[in-house]
Structure 1
Amino acid sequence: MTAVEDRRLSPYTGWTRGHWTALADRLLAAAGRYRSPGGARIDLPGPASRNGRGSDGLEGFARTFLLAGFRVAGEGGADPGGLLEHYARGLAAGTDPASPEAWARPDELGQSKVEAASIALVLQLTRPWLWDRLDDAVRDRVVAWLATVIGQPYPPINWVWFRIVVESFLREAGGPWSASDVEEDLAVHASLRRPGGWLSDGAERAYDHYTGWALHLYPLLWTHLFDVTGTLCPGSLRQQWASDLRDYLDDAVRLVGTDGSPLLQGRSLVYRFAAAAPFWVGAFTGTSSLSPGLTRRVAGGMVRHFADRGAPDGLLTLGWQHAWPAMRQAYSGPGSPYWAAKGMLGLALPAHHPVWTDVEEPLPIETGDVARVVVAPGWLVSGRRRDGIALVVNHGTDHAHPGDQRADSPLYARLGYSTATVPPLGSVPDNTVVVLDADGRASHRAGFETCYTTELPGGVLAAASTGRVRWVDTDGDDSPDHGSGRSGPVVPGPVLTVVSVVRDGIEVRLARLGTADVPVRSLRLSGWPVSDATRPVTEPGAAAARTPALRSEVRSLRGFTTADVAVEAGISPLGEWTAIPFVATDGPPAPGAVFAAVVVLDRGGPDEADPSLAITADGRHVTLTWPDGVSAEVPLPA
C-alpha cells in the first residue's frame, strides 16, 4: 500500500514515516531476492569490485543488515517481515569456516574490516531481538570472526572507527578486545579534527561526505550504544564530539539544495543519501542543534530526491540517479551503494519521536540567500533562494598536501561544486583555471597553498590560492582510485594565483600567472558543467550554455579574448549531453597580468550587470564595484 502524502505535517517533502518504512521494505525485498542459499551473501548484479565476488556478497549482507537493523529497532523489536531471521541464518553460515559461504576474515581481507563494523553495530542495536537469541555456537563463531580485527593495521582515516566499533561490541559480548587498539584509534580521530567541527578523512586535505557519514556518525553512536557508562570515553570528549557535530551540521544543512540534492563532491558518491546520516545521528543522540522538523526536512529531502529520480528503482545501483558505473571507485562493488542505509538511521527512532511528529521546517536556502565561509575545507558557500542551488567555491580542498605533484582529482580539486552539477569526464575540465602547454595539454594545480578565505561587508565572500602548476603524464598510473590525483612524469610550470569573489551567488574569478620556463599556448578559464538528456543550447561565439533546468555562463571582465563552449556526450551521470563554457587568451598570457571573468550558474532569470574592476598601481589589490554601489577590495597575492 502506497503511503499518502501529508502536506500539513510535511509541507516541503510530503513524506511521513510511512514513506520511509515503505522505501526500506522495498529496498530490503529487492536485495533479498539475491540472497545466497545459506543467507551469508547478497550477490547483487553488477561489475565486481577489485576484492572479488565473495567480498561483494558480504558487503551486500552487511550494508542491507544496517537498514534491517534500523527498521526493527524503530519498531521496538517487531519484525513482521522476519528480517532478523534471514540475517541470523547468514551470520551462522558466514562465520562457519566449513560453510561454502564462509566470509573472509578481517585479518585476511581489508574490506571485511569495513563490513565487520556494520555487523557489530547492528548486533548491538538489535541485541535483545537477535544476538541474545542466537545459539551459543553461532555467537562463539561470530565473536571469533570479529576478534580477528584485534591488532590489525588500519589506515589512519575513517577506518579506525570500524575497529573501535567491532572491539567495543566484543567487549560488550564478553569477548576479547584491546584497550590499546581503541586508544590508538581515538588518537587518530583526534588528529583528523579541524576548525568548525569539520574532520578530514586522513592527513591530506580530504574534505567530503566522509566527514558526516563516517567521522561524525560513529563517535556519537559509539557513546550511546556501546560506551554508555563512559569507561572508554571521558565526558569531556563526548562533549567535544557533540559540539563538533553541532558546528558541522550548521554548515552541512547549507550544502543541500531545495530539491534535496546533496553536494556532488568527493569520493563514494554512489552512497547517495548516506549524506543524511549526520543529521540523523544528531537526532538519535540528542546532540543536534537543528530542530526535529528541520532534521526531517533535510534528510527526507535527500532521500526523496533520489526516490523521485529513479534511484532506487528496485535495487540501488552503482551510479547517482540511475546506474552509471563510471562513478565507481576501485573498491566499489554491487553491494557498495547500500551504505546509503546510513541515511535512513532515523528509522531507528520510534514513530512518536519529534523528528516524525513535528512539522517540517524549511532549509536555510528556502528562507533566504546563503553566504558563508567554511574555513577548514577552504569553501565559500553560496546559494540563492530563487534558484535553490547550493554551491561551494573551493580554495582549500584537493585530497593532497601543499606542494603535491600529482594530477588534480576531479572530485576534490575543482574550483567549484554544487548540488546541480558534477565534474564530468570530458576533454575540457570544468571549473578550472588552467595553463595550456604548446600541445594544448591542461595544467594541474593540486598541492596549492590557500592564501585566505574571508567574508567582507555587503555579503561578499572572497578566497585565494596559489601554487606552481604542472603537466602530469598519468598514463602509467593504474593504481586503485581512492580519491587522490594520479601520478606520473611531471613538467613544472609557472606559479598560478586564483582569487574568487562571490556575491549573490555569482563569482568573479581572477587569475595571475608567473613567468613560464616552458612554451605556453594560452590561459583558459572554464565554468560550470550543465547536463541534460538533450544537447544543451549554446550561443555562437559566447561562453554560455542552457538546459531546460540550468544556465552556465562565463563572461570576460579582463584579458580573455575568446569564448566557446565544449559539448560532449556520455561524460556525466546527470544527462547524456554536457556543456562547459570557457574563455581563453589568444596567445601566451603576459606574466604578472591580471585576468578576470564572471562565472554564473543559475536556473535562468534576469541578467545582472557585472561589477567594474580596478587594480591598484602596485598590483596587490583588486577593487570590485557592483552597480548597486557595494564595493569590495581583496588582496591579489603576488
Structure 2
Amino acid sequence: MPALPGFTDNPFQTRSDLVRASIALLQPLEQHMSPQKAFVKLSTETAAGFDEVAAQLEGFARPLWAIASLLAPGSSTDGLGLDVDSWVCGLRAGTNPASSEYWGDLGDFDQRMVEMESIAYALLTAPAAFLSGMDALARENLERWLRQINGRKMPQNNWRWFRVLVNLALGSQDEDVVAQDLSVLDSFDLGEGWSSDGIWGDERKQVDYYSGSFAIQFARMLYVRFMEDRGLASDNRERIERFKLEARQFASAFWRYFDVNGSAIPFGRSLTYRFAFAAFWSAVAIARVQLDAPLDNIGVVKGLLLRHLRWWRKHPGIFNTDGTMNIGYAYPNMFLSENYNSPQSVYWCLKSFTVLCLPKSHPFWTAKELPHPLAVPLLPAPPLPDEVKLLWPPRHILCSGRSHHFLLSSGQGTTKAHRAREAKYGKMAYSSFFGFSIPSGALLGQMAPDSTLTVSFDDGEAWIVRANPFNVRDRQIPILTSHATAGIDAVMRTVPALASTWRPKKAIEFEVQTLLIPALELWSGWHFRIHRVKWSPAAIAPGPIKLVDAGFAGFGATRTGMLCTESELERLLYQDAAGLEAWGKDEQSCLVFSDGSASGVVDLQRDLMSALCSGCGRLATESPALVVRADPNTNLVSQRTLIPTVQHTLVAEIGTKTAAEMWLATGIFAVSKTSGIGMGEVQKLWLKRPKIQVTAKPGEEEEIRIMLP
C-alpha cells in the first residue's frame, strides 16, 4: 500500500504535527462525499450488518472527532486545506427530514445512536462553527433528530454513554433518562478504576479497549470536561470526583498495555479502530485530570500518545490507494472485522486526535515528551529487566520485559455473536509485537490457533478452540533455588499466576485446568503453562483425543520475501546467528527464527518432577512438536505465519472406566525484533529453561514450584 504524506512521514512531536496528520487523514474523504455532504461512502463495496444509510452516516460523523477539535475556540483551520463548510452543510442536510440525504428516524438499538456521540462532541467542542450558519428551522431539525435517542431502547453496554453526551450537548437534559443511563453504566464497575463493557456475568465478561479508550473511560473524561466547562459540575460533584479518581486508578494500570516503542497489545473486538487504543490519553488531558505516578508528569502522557501514533505511521498498509483507511489492522483484513464494521467505521481512530482541542499554549503541548515509565530507571531503584503485574479486573498479567511485551489472559469471554470471539478473548496470551491470529476456516491451519488450546475428539476432523474459561483465580508460584550443602530449597521470590478451567463442550466430560505462569529475568523470553486434563473415557466416543498447545505466531516469510524453510533445530541453535531465518523441530520442541524475532514452544511434560495420579491416562505421541503453517492473512500483524505447537494424543489406559487424568506442561518462548536482542543471545535464552515441579495430593490443590536448574 502507498504511503500517506502527512501521516506516514510525520514525526508526531508537536501539535502542528498532529494537525498535519489529521488533515492528511481527512482530505481523502472529501472525494467520497455525497452532493449535499451528509454521506461519505468509500469506494470499497463491503457492507455492515446495519443499513447502508447508517453506514454512510458513519463516514460523515466519525471524522468529526478531529474536525471539531480543529475548530475548537482558539484554533484556526486557515491555510490547512480543509473544507469546513462541507461538514456544516452535511450536518444540516442529514438532520432535515425534507432532504434526500436525511439520515432517517431512529429505531431501537439503532447504529445512528453511535454516530450521535461524535456529533454531540462537535456541538460541545465547537458550537459556533457548527451552529452559527444554521437558521432556526435547521437548529430545530438538529435538536429533534438528536432527541430521538431518549425514546429508544439501547444495549446495556458502552452505548449508554452516547445518550448521556447527546443530552449534555442538547443543554436541556432528560434528567430521568440520563440518571437511568448513568446508573446502568455504574453497574459495569469492577473496581480499581476498571469497567466491563456491560454487566459482568456468564453471558459477557469483557474488559477490552471499549472499557478504556474506545468508549467508557474516554466518554467519562469528556463528561467531566464539559460538565465543568458548562458550570454544571456542582450539580454532580460527587460523580465527577469519582470519575477523576477512577481515571487515575485506571491510568495507573492502562499504561502497561503500551510497549516502550508505542505499540499496544491488541485484545478484544473492533481492533480495526487502530490508534483509538490511545484515545484515553487524549481524553484525560482534555479533562485536566492530574494522574498519579509514574504518570504525574504530563510529558509521560504525551509520550504514550505520540509514540503510539509514531508506531502506526510505520504501517502504510492501513491505507487504500486513494488515501482512505481500510478495514484491518497492520494490513487490510476482513477476517478481523466485526459484522458492524462498514468501510467507514475505522474512523473512530480519530478519537485519539481530540487532544487537538487543546490550544498550542496548553501544558500538554509545551511539556517535554518523556519516555515510557519502564524505559528509564525509576528511583530509588531501577526496574527489573522483566516485570510482571497482575491486573485482576481484566484477569490479565502484563509482562513487560527486555525480550518481549505481552499479556497472559484468563477469564474473559462472551456469548454474543461477535466474529472470532474465541480468538479475541479466549487466548492465553496476546502480544504487542506478534499480535494474534483469527480463524479463516475449520481446519487446524485455518483456525490459526496461536497462544491457545485446541482439542479434537474425532482424530482432527473437527477442532474446538479455548473459550470462556471459568473458575478463574490468581495464584502465587514460588521460584526455588537448591542449596546443595543443606539439601533444602530456598524461596527466592514468587510470581503471580492465573488459574482457570475450560470445558470444550458442556455435553462432554472433558476439562482442562490451566495455570499460566510468567517468567522473570531468570528466564527472559519465557512463560509457562501447566495443564491438568481430566476426562471420562466412557462418555467420549472411542479413540484418542488430540490436544494442541500453541505459542505465538512467528513470521513465516524472510526479509527477501521467500517462505521460511525447515532446518534441523540443533543446527539452528549452533550455527552462525547472523541473518538466521528458518524453523526447526525435534522430539520435544519447535522454534521459528524470522526477521530478527523468535517464537517457539517446548514440551516440558517429560521433565515434570511430580507425585501425580498414575495409571489413569497416557500419551500416545512420541514426537509432539508440530509447526502449523497458518492460512495467510489470519494474523493481525503478519500476512504469513508459522505457529509452533506441541500436539498431544491422549489415550485412557486399557480397561479404565473411571475418570482419566493427565498432566501436561509447556514452555512458551518469544523474543521480539524490537527488543534489540541479537540472535546469538536469543539462542542462549532458548536453551535456558527451568525445571517445573508439580505435587498433587488427593482432594488438595496441586503445588507448583519452578526450580532453578
Query: Is 358-367 or 406-415 further displaced after alignment?
Result: 406-415
User: What residue number does 1:62 align with?
Assistant: 61
SS in 2 for 1:543: strand
Whether the aligned pair in 2 keeps the contact of 1:274 and 1:340 (CA below 8 Å) is: yes
User: What residue number does 1:635 align with?
Assistant: none
Aligned counterparts of 2:452 and 2:180: Cα–Cα separation in 1: 40
User: What residue number does 1:583 align with?
Assistant: 646
Question: Does 2:665 align with 1:593?
Answer: no
Q: 1:233 to 1:260 in 2, by over 3 A?
A: farther
Whether the aligned pair in 2 keeps the contact of 1:270 and 1:318 (CA below 8 Å) is: yes
User: What residue number does 2:406 align with?
Assistant: 391
Question: Does 2:236 align with 1:234?
Answer: yes
SS in 2 for 1:287: coil
Q: 1:32 to 1:98 in 2, by over 3 A?
A: same
Q: CA deviation at 1:252?
A: 1.4
SS in 2 for 1:528: coil
2:464 to 443, 447, 459: 443
Aligned counterparts of 2:242 and 2:83: Cα–Cα separation in 1: 37
Q: 1:75 to 1:271 in 2, by over 3 A?
A: farther
Q: CA deviation at 1:53?
A: 2.8
Structure 2 unaligned regions, length at least 5: 377-382, 440-445, 478-491, 565-581, 607-618, 654-659, 673-678
Q: CA deviation at 1:312?
A: 4.4
* Per-residue deviation, residues 591-614 of structure 1 (Å, max 9, x unmatched): 333210111121352325211122
SS in 2 for 1:122: helix
Specify the code of the residue in structure 2 equivalent to 1:447.
Answer: N
Specify the code of the residue in structure 1 equivalent to 2:157.
Answer: I
Q: 1:351 to 1:167 in 2, by over 3 A?
A: same
Question: Does 2:344 align with 1:343?
Answer: no
User: What residue number does 1:35 align with?
Assistant: 33
Pairwise CA RMSD of aligned residues? Answer: 2.8
SS in 2 for 1:381: strand
Structure number with larger C-alpha Rg = 2
1:564 to 622, 626, 642: 626
Q: CA deviation at 1:127?
A: 1.1
Q: 1:64 to 1:2 in 2, by over 3 A?
A: closer
Whether the aligned pair in 2 keeps the contact of 1:460 and 1:502 (CA below 8 Å) is: yes
* Per-residue deviation, residues 175-224 of structure 1 (Å, max 9, x unmatched): xx421110111011101111221111112111111011210011221132
Aligned counterparts of 2:652 and 2:254: Cα–Cα separation in 1: 39
Aligned counterparts of 1:262 and 1:491: Cα–Cα separation in 2: 38
* Per-residue deviation, residues 423-446 of structure 1 (Å, max 9, x unmatched): 232334121233321232333443
User: What residue number does 1:503 align with?
Assistant: 519
Specify the code of the residue in structure 1 equivalent to 2:47.
Answer: A
Q: 1:567 to 1:232 in 2, by over 3 A?
A: farther
Question: Does 2:257 align with 1:178?
Answer: no
Specify the code of the residue in structure 1 equivalent to 2:251.
Answer: L
Q: CA deviation at 1:362?
A: 1.4
Specify the code of the residue in structure 1 equivalent to 2:553.
Answer: P
Q: 1:581 to 1:3 in 2, by over 3 A?
A: closer
Whether the aligned pair in 2 keeps the contact of 1:72 and 1:79 (CA below 8 Å) is: no
Q: CA deviation at 1:382?
A: 0.2
User: What residue number does 2:379 align with?
Assistant: none
Specify the code of the residue in structure 2 equivalent to 1:432.
Answer: T
Q: CA deviation at 1:233?
A: 5.8
Question: Does 2:396 align with 1:379?
Answer: yes
SS in 2 for 1:168: helix
Correspondence 1:111-190 to 2 at 5 A: 111-170=111-170, 172=171, 177-190=173-186
Aligned counterparts of 1:159 and 1:554: Cα–Cα separation in 2: 41
Aligned counterparts of 2:601 and 2:343: Cα–Cα separation in 1: 39
Q: 1:266 to 1:76 in 2, by over 3 A?
A: same
User: What residue number does 2:484 align with?
Assistant: none
Q: CA deviation at 1:82?
A: 5.3
2:16 to 11, 15, 18: 18
Whether the aligned pair in 2 keeps the contact of 1:555 and 1:597 (CA below 8 Å) is: yes
Aligned counterparts of 1:565 and 1:499: Cα–Cα separation in 2: 23
* Per-residue deviation, residues 553-599 of structure 1 (Å, max 9, x unmatched): 11111157511110134122422311111112243277333210111
Whether the aligned pair in 1 keeps the contact of 2:472 and 2:500 (CA below 8 Å) is: yes
SS in 2 for 1:585: strand
Whether the aligned pair in 1 keeps the contact of 2:692 and 2:707 (CA below 8 Å) is: no
Task: Work out the number of aligned pairs and report it.
Answer: 595
| Structure 2 length-normalised TM | 0.79
Q: 1:522 to 1:622 in 2, by over 3 A?
A: farther
Correspondence 1:167-566 to 2 at 5 A: 167-170=167-170, 172=171, 177-203=173-199, 204-212=204-212, 213-226=214-227, 228-230=230-232, 234-289=236-291, 290=295, 291-310=297-316, 311-312=318-319, 314-367=323-376, 368=383, 369-384=386-401, 386-387=402-403, 389-400=404-415, 409-420=422-433, 421-425=435-439, 426-440=446-460, 441-454=462-475, 458=493, 460-470=495-505, 491-504=507-520, 506-516=526-536, 517-519=539-541, 520-534=544-558, 535-536=563-564, 537-541=582-586, 542-559=589-606, 561=622, 562-566=624-628
Percent identity, aligned pairs only, is 24
Q: CA deviation at 1:275?
A: 1.0
Q: CA deviation at 1:137?
A: 1.6
Query: Is 285-294 or 268-277 further displaced after alignment?
Result: 285-294
Query: Is 444-453 or 210-219 further displaced after alignment?
Result: 444-453
Q: 1:188 to 1:233 in 2, by over 3 A?
A: farther
Whether the aligned pair in 1 keeps the contact of 2:465 and 2:504 (CA below 8 Å) is: yes
SS in 2 for 1:511: strand
Specify the code of the residue in structure 2 equivalent to 1:568.
Answer: A
Whether the aligned pair in 1 keeps the contact of 2:590 and 2:626 (CA below 8 Å) is: yes
Q: 1:622 to 1:581 in 2, by over 3 A?
A: farther
Aligned counterparts of 1:317 and 1:75: Cα–Cα separation in 2: 33
User: What residue number does 1:484 align with?
Assistant: none
Whether the aligned pair in 2 keeps the contact of 1:449 and 1:466 (CA below 8 Å) is: yes
